[in-house]
Amino acid sequence: MRQIATINVSALTQNGDAQSFDYTDAFGRPAKGLLLRWAGELRAFRNLCPHWSMPLDADTGEFFDANKSALLCKMHGARFDPANGECIMGPCEGDRLEALQVEVSDDGNTATIRRGRTLSF
């Protein structure tokens, strides 16, 4: 698995904390990623709604709904399960965000993001 980003995660302490990052996809194109803390773990996804290929946050940096219970696409209101990226409501229901692999450093302050799925579907 190819490393695509290394991120300081010291600010992602609470459930629902999230931040975006930039990387280059497998075809050499610029891409956006999303790193979040959910259920005590760090998870990463490509920041791209499967419905219309737009960043979930519309470049606002806000990824969750008001209750911080689901990731929210700002364009069409699709909601995604933060645990696995599955669209649970909206025009892309049943589709998933592209998962990225997360490896946390021994001190817990840095995450290395790699292409590839960490979740089995």
- The pTM of this model reads 0.90
- Please state, in angstroms and rounded to a whole number, the distance separating the CA atoms of residues 36 and 13: 9
> Euclidean distance between the first and final Cα of the chain, in Å?
19
Find tokens 């600010």 and name the residue.
Answer: 11
CATH of domain 3-114: 2.102.10.10
Q: What is the average pLDDT value for the chain, to the nearest integer?
A: 92
Nearest CA-CA partner of 96 in 114, 83, 112: 83
Q: Where are the domains of the chain?
A: 3-114
Residues 6+ apart with CB under 8 A from 41: none
Opening angle at CA 94, ends 98 and 65, nearest 5: 75
pLDDT in tens, 9-40: 999 999 999 999 999 988 889 999 999 999 99
